[in-house]
Structure 1
């Protein structure tokens, strides 16, 4: 009975496979040497990182032999070959550089594999095999980087939610700043907290839309969807036009912006005032969208916000009292007369031009014009809050 020929894998004899197995270490070393010669950035990597890449290449070369022996296990083997890489690899080099390393290794294999084949037919089979194997490795590389990016994205999202939650709760400045720094937030950037309803019941959709809008505005943001409210911390200048554009990211209902503060460490003040304004804005049906929390001081004070009361006293009641009794009395009389200039002048026994002068002086002191209906409400509430504070002995 004649001898049975040795089985072949991918058209390769057992002899060729043994040669390939013995040469796998040499092929890996030659690949790394080519990387050092042809890729300038590779030679600048630290020695430990280059050694890790050599280990990965050796594992890949050994995996090629196993892949040739059992093609049914190709996907699992190639994925496992790259999975042996340290988790830090994606931090050392980018995906494009990693694919460049794979391409370089495949080129070296193509150059040196033919000499390991037993005949010309097996040379062609080896070349075809390394090209297919290289494609599998490239896919495995891309999948590994994608998984790492997803993991980092999920971690960043959780960290971002922690930062925003810390701002809302008024956590220690150091904790907020250190976490925000990990997200790439500029320490010296100003911050403005904007709150309202989310535009969707699906938080990932909301996050995507806000991120896209922020990219168009070139505005750094931190955000968190907390149940029925969306909280955005915007960095940099947030003037009227910017706020108008940010308001598009919110759903139906009011949008309130807190004051702009000097740094993220002070953002809890902006958040507190913005959330207070969101609770109180129902008291002003004609409020603009978006509206600044400082424009909601009367409603916030009436809803029990102590900070709003303090601001009304510090910015309106005290300056009017410090200006002297004539200015304060003129404002009070003007408000009580329903905003009728002549009636106020008669009650004070002065000329209407004198009333006009004193009202202009009040506007200069407080930034509120008594002849404007909205500002008149603010002045009236501020003076009332001031009287109540005096009665309680806290002013």
Structure 2
């Protein structure tokens, strides 16, 4: 391969480029990114970046790769047979090998588009815009109590802002943790002054020129100066329709991370078979997975020996507690609570088909290492 294109200039795309160079690849590498920014860390955007105007979220190593950065214009189409990556009206990028790492886009709330004060938090520009309005001490409603919604609620409560967290499910973080531990997180939110509304949905927002009111599905009207929509993300695959690649909640890849000969996918956009779940397809939207998948995709593209792919993991910061996980957790698994302390520390493991497939903890980090070794052996 003389020319490799990487569609997506985030963490997965960057680590793919880094691994290509580490393996001795000396050909051309072009990184195509929708944002104008060089790759950066996303986890701080809902936490320390909002608190510190001097926070640096840039990823190291971008200037040492000898690659061509094509930023500010997203990939818009793919000619797989002709090996051309399209960027709207711009000149196509030709390639011999391709890594698809276009990530995911934030879900929006129908009927609220264009109303000032309704925002999502997915990228660096989103975080900068949100940080700029926090000094006015807005009344905040957050739609969705997943990772971003929960972390944002904790951050804004640290600024002593009024926060209402609206979650359609029965508990915050129910999908990654399950209902029992989700209830622990609910208690944590309430203990820190969050107005938590479970089993409710935001249906609309209204105001004279900007958001002033948020309407819930039970008829409740919440006063608000800011509505943050944190309802998850959808993989960026629209530009790949009609290419012949298998698209099913992401780009479906094999155990090597390949979607087609000479075409790999990595990060939030990739849906791959899980060894821990007996080959069931999963799409993982966690930072550490994006890095591991990027490395894995690069190795597979060059035909280098590659392991089965990274063991899933996540972390989440809430009110001084850091939640850490390894393996597969949450819905679809049977949780077993090992420790639960009055101060909110806990340790839980998750079972499926009679075996441990994951664990999550807040405060029992040394125990997590044992699970990590166990699952890594099974995942190999």
| Higher Rg | 1
Which structure has more RCO (C-alpha within 8 Å, separation ≥ 6)? 2
Higher helix share: 1
In the superposition, the TM-score normalised over structure 2's length comes to 0.21
Higher strand share: 2
TM-score by length of 1: 0.20
